[in-house]
Amino acid sequence: MTTHKVGHYSFKWTSQHMSKEEAEPLKHTYDELGSYVVTKLQEIAQRNKNSEGGPVPPPCQMDLYGLLRDHRHEDERLAQFWDETHTVPEWVDWEQIERGQKFLYRYAPGNLMGFALQGFMGENTAAPGISEVLIRTGGFSTRTLLRRLLETFQFLLQVTESLDAVKPGGTGHITTIRVRLLHSMVRERIMRIEKTRGNYFDMEELGAPVNTIGSIHSITTFSCNHSWLQLPFMGVYPTEQETTDYIALFRYIAHVIGTPTQYFETTARAKATMESMLVHQFRLNETSDVVAHNFVQTLTDLPPMNVSAQFIEAGSRVFNGDDLCDKIGLGRPSWYSYACFRGFCWLVSALAFLQHASPMFDEYITGFLKRTLHDVVIHSKNGLAGGSKLEFKHVPQYGKTVGKEGHERSPPSSASWITRRPVETFLFACFVLGCLLFVTVMLLMSQAVGLLYMNLAQDQMLVIHESHSFV
């Protein structure tokens, strides 16, 4: 059995893993029904406008989901798409899905940090089939990336909000269909440019835009990576049941979004699929640098957290290893940034320990994090101010790709290092506290061992003394 090592993660190759021969053709297949549906819906939008007069709305103003809902009876394949996405497979167990939804909130700080620094930074940058699409949509420009991240979190929050939200017709279910249509729009647009102008997207090398293997990879990033590639590196160990339940939720999402579901049938198969992606999808190129660079720039000095680029780089190195991070051009931060990140890890692992110890505390924390995330990401003015309909804003255009960009925010101006980056100062304090606790426990333990040893020695002396006086 061959052992593979990717970053800090190693695993053994088994018969459940996906062979290269199985993976390669999946680069060239994609959600054809989704592609048909967006083409048809655009025709319908054109027809409607022709009969009403006036120009056809640009793609970013088209409500494809609304068009689908209203016109699905006019075309057999539109109806098929609607029926398939609204049919619940017989393997769906709603009680399990409901348990799975809690996983996101239960370990929210670790999950979000892991998703950003390992999922986005480690995996999206390293998979050319994904990163080459991302830089062509413009959504990876530092001016737009933050909104894209918020929209991705909106999707995550909506599919985990409640059972009704993820059941057919619920907000999370509708958002998932919108994402599927958005993907198909991106694909259609890129394929059309490649067909008419050429030299735009190397389909031979990269496969089709938003193809089957990329989609399977993305589902593993959303569902499996937390349990094996992210939380354990922060000292958080979800139970097997929690992992299985969360994967079950995303197996259902895969069904709605048009991704093959058999790879997520069991937890063992899903884990093997995740590991197969680490082997088949990892190939760094120049685009990886751009995606990583813009990602760091977007998050650096973002109020109110104001975290530094060094903190982000330290976290990325903990998850993804130095080899990958050097190759994508990340800086080498000082020990202070690592200490702050370690403080974060100790904080989330202490929280998880207390949650495992007390179900009441767990319920409180899970509920609190859920309310806070929904407020901050979806409802607040600095977030999505009520939510996004995931319009097709960043339309790929010939000759337009995103390069490395800076950000326009100035670093915090406070003179004192304590108040300049309060979050990092707090995390550093957690690190110091953790070290003090460790040293205190070690001292107490060595004292206890010393006392035990002295007692044993005294007992032995007593025995020797008694046996001598007996003689």
State in angstroms the smallest separation of the CB of 120 from ligand HEM: 10
| Cβ-based neighbour number of residue 401 at 10 Å | 16
State in angstroms the smallest separation of the CB of 227 from ligand HEM: 17
Q: Are β-strands 9-12 and 3-6 bridged in parallel, bridged antiparallel, or unpaired?
A: antiparallel
State in angstroms the smallest separation of the CB of 182 from ligand HEM: 5
**Which two structure tokens, joined as six digits, stand for 120?**
């986005």
- Name which of 147 and 356 has its Cβ closer to ligand HEM: 147
Q: Tell me the window of 32-40, 128-136, 293-301, 458-466 that interacts with ligand HEM (CB under 6 A).
A: 128-136
- Name which of 182 and 234 has its Cβ closer to ligand HEM: 182
**Which two structure tokens, joined as six digits, stand for 10?**
């190693």
Distance set, CA 345 to CA 36, 109, 352 (Å): 46, 10, 11
Q: Does 130 bind ligand HEM (CB under 6 A)?
A: yes
State in angstroms the smallest separation of the CB of 149 from ligand HEM: 7
Q: What is the DSSP string of 215-270?
A: HHHHHHHHHTHIIIIIGGGGT----HHHHHHHHHHHHHHHHHHT---GGGSSHHHH
State in angstroms the smallest separation of the CB of 304 from ligand HEM: 23
Q: Which of 339, 342, 311, 323 is nearest to 411 (CA)?
A: 311
In contact, 393 and 148? CB cutoff 8 Å: no
Number of residues that bind ligand HEM (CB under 6 A): 24
In the 8-state DSSP scheme, what is residue 87?
Answer: P
**Which position among 6, 37, 38, 133 is part of the footprint of ligand HEM (CB under 6 A)?**
133
CA 88/CA 72 separation, integer angstroms: 18
- Name which of 257 and 328 has its Cβ closer to ligand HEM: 257
State in angstroms the smallest separation of the CB of 175 from ligand HEM: 7
- Name which of 259 and 300 has its Cβ closer to ligand HEM: 259
In contact, 166 and 252? CB cutoff 8 Å: yes
What type of residue is 336? Answer: Y
**Which two structure tokens, joined as six digits, stand for 310?**
């060094």
- Which residues inside 383-402 make contact with ligand HEM, applying CB under 6 A? 390, 393-394
- Name which of 183 and 421 has its Cβ closer to ligand HEM: 183
Report phi then psi at 101, rounded to 5: -60, -30
Binding mask 246-285 for ligand HEM (x = CB under 6 A): -----------x-x--------------------------
CA 79/CA 81 separation, integer angstroms: 5
Q: Which of 159, 199, 98, 104 is nearest to 401 (CA)?
A: 199
- Which residues inside 20-59 make contact with ligand HEM, applying CB under 6 A? none
Binding mask 134-163 for ligand HEM (x = CB under 6 A): x--x-x--------x--xx--x--------
In the 8-state DSSP scheme, what is residue 122?
Answer: I
Binding mask 169-208 for ligand HEM (x = CB under 6 A): ----------x--xx--x----------------------
Please give the residue ranges that form the binding site for ligand HEM (CB under 6 A): 130, 133-134, 137, 139, 148, 151-152, 155, 179, 182-183, 186, 210, 214-215, 218-219, 222, 257, 259, 390, 393-394
